């Protein structure tokens, strides 16, 4: 029988990043979650802590207990995938690059822990359930820039095709570069064009095998 978590541990788990499961807390608190097998420490710098599948289940469990605190807004510093459709431009720089790298490494580790045989070469269940965000993370981690006010870049949106998303860029070369990056990240990519508008885009779906 698993050892029950404390209220403080449940607050840390509940506060995990909704995209990557990255945890924030003191070293002692996070190490305790590792001992409970609810978290793991990534082997590469910055050695961040992430929820394990068991930790995700704990976070998703319904609870009747009211939280001790109820913040009115999202915690600052929580990682957000950039799809290129955001209304406001976001800051860039070394800090963002580290966050993106940490998010991508967290997804790769989640693949290893949840895919059959520890397969890191194809999307895991979380990525298949959150394809827009997962594709955006893979693109930014590969060095592609999201669209923003006054700047061209990729846009990731839902697709009319089932179990797929669309990735667009202003140029055919940009679309092709995004497709190459996503294929390397384990996604299936097919390029398409709109004969009426001349728009080029890629339809992206998760690789199953």
Render pLDDT for 144-189 as a digit per residue (tens, 0 to 9).
999 988 889 999 999 988 899 999 999 999 999 999 999 999 999 9
| CA atoms lying within 13 Å on the CB side of residue 147 | 18
Q: Which pLDDT does position 67 carry in this prediction?
A: 37
Confidence class for position 63, pLDDT limits 50, 70, 90: low
CA angle 126, 127, 129 (to 5 degrees): 65
- Tens-place pLDDT, residues 87-138: 876 677 888 888 898 889 888 988 988 898 989 999 998 899 899 999 999 9
pLDDT at 71 over 90: no
Preceding omega of 46 cis (within 30 degrees of 0)? yes
CA angle 16, 50, 35 (to 5 degrees): 110
Q: Which pLDDT does position 96 carry in this prediction?
A: 87
Does residue 142 or residue 71 have the better pLDDT? 142
Confidence class for position 207, pLDDT limits 50, 70, 90: confident
How many angstroms separate the CA atoms of 170 and 180, rounded?
16
Determine if the pTM surpasses 0.75. Answer: no
- Tens-place pLDDT, residues 18-40: 777 889 888 888 888 988 888 88
How many angstroms separate the CA atoms of 188 and 166, rounded?
12
């Amino acid at each position: 029988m698993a050892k029950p978590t404390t209220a403080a541990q449940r607050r840390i788990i509940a506060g995990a990043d909704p995209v990557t499961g990255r945890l924030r807390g003191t070293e002692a608190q996070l190490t305790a979650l590792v001992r409970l097998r609810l978290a793991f420490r990534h082997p590469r710098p910055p050695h961040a802590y992430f929820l394990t599948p068991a930790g995700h289940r704990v976070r998703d469990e319904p609870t009747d207990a009211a939280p001790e605190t109820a913040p009115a807004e999202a915690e600052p510093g929580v990682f957000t995938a950039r799809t290129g459709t955001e209304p406001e431009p976001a800051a860039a720089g070394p800090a963002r690059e580290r966050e993106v790298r940490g998010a991508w490494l967290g997804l790769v580790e989640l693949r290893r822990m949840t895919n059959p045989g520890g397969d890191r070469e194809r999307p895991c269940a979380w990525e298949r359930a959150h394809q827009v965000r997962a594709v955006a993370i893979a693109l930014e981690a590969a060095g592609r820039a999201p669209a923003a006010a006054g700047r061209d870049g990729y846009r990731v949106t839902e697709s009319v095709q089932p179990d797929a998303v669309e990735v667009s860029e202003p140029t055919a070369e940009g679309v092709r570069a995004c497709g190459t990056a996503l294929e390397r990240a384990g996604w299936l990519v097919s390029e398409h064009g709109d004969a009426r508008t001349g728009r080029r885009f890629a339809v992206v779906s998760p690789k199953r095998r």
